[in-house]
Structure 1
C-alpha cells in the first residue's frame, strides 16, 4: 500500500510538471488524472514480462510528452505563443542554426545530446516507477487501486466532456491535454491556411500594378532593425540606454537639417521569423506563419519590389543572414540579392551575427548605392541586435576606415560566451538594450552622413524580442523612423498617426505592418 501511494505521488508530480510551460511554473491543479489511471491500472496487473513491456512503452510515451513540453517551452519563451507542430516543425533547422551560431557547433550538439539524455532519463524513471507497481496483494491495496482507476477514468471523461458535466476540482489531464492541443492547433491552422489561400485567390486580379510616381528619382531604403520593439523605448529597463542613443540621433539629425517622423506599427509575430515581417511589409498581406508565407510564394502577388521596379528603381536586398539559397528572394524579383557570401567582409563573425551593422551600412552605400546611376529601392536586414546580443561593438567614428571589415578583427573573441551570459537573465536584458542602442546609433550615423532631399530612409523594427526581454503577453508594436531631407516625403505619414521627431507618441496601435504598402500607394502611387 505504501509503495502504491508513494509511486502514485511521484507519477502525479511528473505529470503535473508537464504544465510548467503553460503556467510558467506549477499550475493551480493538484491531481493529474493520468497518474491516477496509470498507477491504478499497473497496481492491478500481474507482474511479468508483458507488464514490463507495457511499462517500457508507457515510459517512451512519457519521454515523448516531455520532449513536446520542452519544445512548447522554447516556443513560449522565444515566440511568445504555444508550440504549434503543424506550423513550427519547419523551424527546427532555424533553431539548430541559431544554437550552432551562438554557442558553436560542438556546443549545440552537446546541448542536444544532453536534452535527449534528460528526456530519456525522465521516460526511464516513469517506466521504472510503473514496473514496480504490479504483484501487490491485499484487499485494501486492490480497493485503492480500483478507486484510482475509477477516478482516472471518470475524471478524464468529465474533464473532456465539455461544460455540461462538472469537472473534479483541481484535477487536470496534462498529457492528454497537451496532445489534444496540438490536434486542435493543427486543425485551426489548416482551416486558417485554407482561408488565406481563398483570400489570395480572390485578390489575384484585384491588386493592380502600381507605379510610385511620387517617389520617382528618390532612393528608398528600408532598414529592418532586428528585435527592435516598443519595449526598447517604453520599458524602463531598456529605455534609459536605448533612449539616450535615440535622443542623440535626433539631435544630430536636426543639426544636419534632416527631418524625422516616428510612429508605431504592429508586427505579425514575436521573437523570431523576421522574414514574416519582411513579407508582410512588402506584400501588404498579414503573414503570421510559415504556412502563410509558403502560400504567398505560390502566388504572383505584386509587392513593393515590383512597384518600385516599375517606377524605375533598381531593387536590391542586402541580407547578411542569408548563407544558403533564398527562394523567397527570387520570388520577390529583386534585381540583386546580396547575401553573406556576396559581400567582401574580411572581419570575424560575432556568434550568430555574420557581420556588424556598421559594415553592412558602409558596404551598401559604397558598393550598391554609389555604384548605381538609377534610384535604389533597398531592403536591408540588420543583425547586430539579434540574440545572443553579445558582444556589443563600439561605433567607429571613421567610416572610411571600415573598408572590407578587417578593422573589426580587433574585437574577435571579445565579450563573454553566450552560454555564460545567458545564465543571468538580468545581464541578458542589459546586453539586449546595449545591442539595440548600437544598432540605432549606427543607423543614425548612416542617416546623418548619407540622407538628403532625394532619400527616404525607413528604419523599422522587425518584431519584439523574446519574452525573456518583454515579459509575458507583449505588445506587438515596433517603432518606425522615417528620415529625409525633404519634409514633403514625411508629410503623408503624419496623417496616419506618425509624429515629428525620433520618439513615437504611443506604445499601442491598431495599424499593422501590412498597411505600409497601401500608405505608399495612397501618398505616392498612380
Structure 2
C-alpha cells in the first residue's frame, strides 16, 4: 500500500511555526535588501528568492548532523550577504559605487572619522554599537531558527517540508512566468547571483592590481626628459586642492546662484591685480571622500581610484609631479592642515618639507573636524614657505579643508593683517550649531556645504590678488561631495583653474580646451585627472615666450 500523505491540518508546535517564520523573514529581508540607498521601496521586498524554500527543505529533510552543519553555513553566508548589502548601501551613498571588500576595508576607518566628526564620538560609538548588536542579533536569531528546523522530525518534519515545497513550486511558477513574458520576475535565484557577482568583482579587482603593477613597472618618458618646466623657470608653482569642490557647485541650480557670482567676482578681482585665468573640467577618480586618491592621480599621472592602487603607488618608483619639480631646481613643500598623525605616504611625493597641522602654528580653536580655516592655511604657507629665506622657487601642494564635511561652522574672511596665530578665529570656530543639529536638516547641510565652497573661493581669490606676485596657481577640486549634496547621478568632474600674470602661459591651457576666465564652459570636455600631470608638464616645459 502507498504511504498515506501527512495530515497537516492539526496545529504545528508554536515554536516550530515561529522558527519557520523567523527563518523565512530574516532571509527574505537580507536577500532582498537593495544595494543602493535610492532603491528602497515596498516592491523591492515583494520578491521570493528561491534559495529560501530550498534551504528550508534541506534543513528539514537532511540528517540532523548534516542539517546542523548546513544551518551554521547558511547563517555565515547570510551574514556575509547582509554585510555586503549594507556595505553597498554605505559606499553607494558616499561614492556612487559598490562596496568591494578587497579594496575598501580602510573605508571603515575613514567613515568613522567623518561620522564621529559630524555627530560626536560618543553618539557615533553608540550608533555603531547598536548597529553591530542588531546585526549580530539578527544572525543569531536566524541561526537559532535554522537549528530548530534542523531538529524537527516525524509528522512535523513532513508537514514543514510540504510547506516549503509548496512555496518552492509557487516560486518556480513565478520565475517561469516572468521569464516567459519578459516582465518583472517575482521569484528567482537572485541571492546566489549576487554572491557570484561579488566574488567575480573581487577576482576582477585582484587582476586589476596585477595590471596596475605592470603599469607601475613601465618606463615614464616624461620623467626621463633632461630639462623640464622651462616656461615657468624661476617662478613659484602653487597647486591648491579645494575639498569637495565639484562641478555641481558651479552648475547645480541649488548652488549656482551663490557660486556663479563668486567666480565672477574672483575673476574681476584677479584681473584688477593683473592676473589672467583659464578654467576647465577634470574627472576625479573618487567622490564624496578619499581625497588622497585624487591627489595621487593628479600627481602621478596614473588612475588611482581605490586604496589598493594608492598603496601600490606609494611603494613604487613612479615619479610624482612634485618630485620632478624638485629634480629640476624647485623647493617642494606640502601644506596639509588635515594631517594630524604620522604620514609615511608623504615620502613618495618627494617633498623637501611637509607642514602638517601641528607645523603650521595655529593656536585657534578647530572648526569641528576642520583643524584651521583656509585663510590661516594660506597665510601660514606664505610665511613658512614662500617667503622663507631660500633662493630656489617653490613648488607647493596645498590641501584646503574648510569645505570638508561636516561644513559647520562656516568661516568668514577677515583682514589678513589680523590673522596672527589664528586665535582671532576662535569666535567663528565656536559659533553656529553643532554638526548633529545641522545634519538633522538635509537642506541646511546643502546650504552650509555651498557656503564653505564660497568661502574657500573668496579666500583663494583674495590671497592670489594680494600676494600672488609672479607665481603660477593651479586650483582645483579634489572630488564632488557625497550624493547627499549632489544627488545620485552627478558628474564626477571637478573645476580646474589656472591663474597667472603670464597671459601667454594661460593661453596655452586655453588651447588645450580650457575656457578663459573662472567659469568652465558647460560643453568643455571632462578629461580624466590622470591626464593632468602630462598636460602640466608639456605646457610648462615649452620654451619660454617673451614676457
The normalised TM-score by structure 2 is 0.86
Q: Does the 8 Å contact 2:35/2:86 carry over to 1?
A: no
Which segment drifts farther, 205-214 or 302-311? 205-214
**Helix, strand or coil at the partner of 1:346:** coil
Partner of 2:131 in structure 1?
115
Deviation at 1:38, TM superposition (A): 3.4
1:42-53 alignment to 2 at 5 Å?
42=59, 44=61
Tell me: CA distance 1:38–1:297, structure 2 relative to 1, closer, same or farther (3 Å).
Answer: same
Q: Does the 8 Å contact 2:281/2:495 carry over to 1?
A: yes
Q: Does the 8 Å contact 2:222/2:534 carry over to 1?
A: no
Partner of 2:312 in structure 1?
295
Partner of 2:545 in structure 1?
none
Given candidates 323, 344, 351, the residue that maps to 1:306 is 323
Distance 1:287 1:154 in 2: 47
Distance 2:455 2:134 in 1: 38
Deviation at 1:354, TM superposition (A): 1.3
Structure number with bigger Rg: 2
Residue deviations 1:214-254 (CA, integer Å, cap 9, x gap): 11111110110001110111110111122232222122222
Given candidates 7, 29, 33, the residue that maps to 1:18 is 33
Deviation at 1:508, TM superposition (A): 5.9
Residue deviations 1:319-366 (CA, integer Å, cap 9, x gap): 111112222211111110111121111011222211111110111112
Residue deviations 1:198-225 (CA, integer Å, cap 9, x gap): 1222225774145211111111101100
Partner of 2:473 in structure 1?
457
Deviation at 1:154, TM superposition (A): 11
Deviation at 1:510, TM superposition (A): 4.0
Given candidates 106, 118, 125, the residue that maps to 1:102 is 118
Cα root mean square deviation, aligned: 3.1
Q: Does the 8 Å contact 1:12/1:31 carry over to 2?
A: no
**Helix, strand or coil at the partner of 2:105:** helix
Distance 2:169 2:248 in 1: 50
Tell me: CA distance 1:61–1:249, structure 2 relative to 1, closer, same or farther (3 Å).
Answer: same
Distance 2:61 2:431 in 1: 62
Distance 1:62 1:415 in 2: 44
Distance 1:508 1:524 in 2: 22
Tell me: CA distance 1:83–1:433, structure 2 relative to 1, closer, same or farther (3 Å).
Answer: same
Q: Does the 8 Å contact 1:280/1:286 carry over to 2?
A: yes
1:426 and 2:443 matched: yes
Partner of 1:436 in structure 2?
453
Deviation at 1:60, TM superposition (A): 5.5
Partner of 2:215 in structure 1?
199
Partner of 1:472 in structure 2?
488
Which segment drifts farther, 467-476 or 34-43? 34-43
1:328 and 2:328 matched: no
Given candidates 411, 423, 430, the residue that maps to 1:393 is 411
Distance 1:264 1:471 in 2: 19
| Unmatched runs of 5 consecutive residues or more in structure 1 | none
Q: Does the 8 Å contact 1:305/1:334 carry over to 2?
A: yes
Aligned residues between the structures: 517
Deviation at 1:97, TM superposition (A): 2.6
Q: Does the 8 Å contact 2:31/2:49 carry over to 1?
A: yes
Partner of 2:391 in structure 1?
373
Q: Does the 8 Å contact 1:211/1:310 carry over to 2?
A: no
Q: Does the 8 Å contact 1:37/1:152 carry over to 2?
A: no
1:116-515 alignment to 2 at 5 Å?
116-127=132-143, 129-130=145-146, 134=152, 137=156, 142-148=161-167, 169-173=185-189, 175-203=191-219, 207-209=223-225, 210-371=227-388, 372-396=390-414, 398-452=415-469, 454-506=470-522, 509-515=525-531
**Helix, strand or coil at the partner of 1:351:** coil
Q: Does the 8 Å contact 2:47/2:186 carry over to 1?
A: yes
Residue deviations 1:108-145 (CA, integer Å, cap 9, x gap): 32222121022123224434554665466397654332
Residue deviations 1:352-397 (CA, integer Å, cap 9, x gap): 211111110111112211114321110000111111111112221x
Deviation at 1:463, TM superposition (A): 0.8
Distance 1:513 1:139 in 2: 63
1:27-106 alignment to 2 at 5 Å?
30-42=47-59, 44=61, 58-59=74-75, 61-106=77-122
Q: Does the 8 Å contact 1:207/1:302 carry over to 2?
A: yes
Distance 2:161 2:76 in 1: 27
Distance 1:205 1:323 in 2: 36
Q: Does the 8 Å contact 1:216/1:311 carry over to 2?
A: no
Which segment drifts farther, 319-328 or 74-83? 319-328
Distance 2:145 2:524 in 1: 51
Tell me: CA distance 1:415–1:245, structure 2 relative to 1, closer, same or farther (3 Å).
Answer: same
| Unmatched runs of 5 consecutive residues or more in structure 2 | 1-7, 12-16, 543-547
Q: Does the 8 Å contact 2:118/2:406 carry over to 1?
A: yes
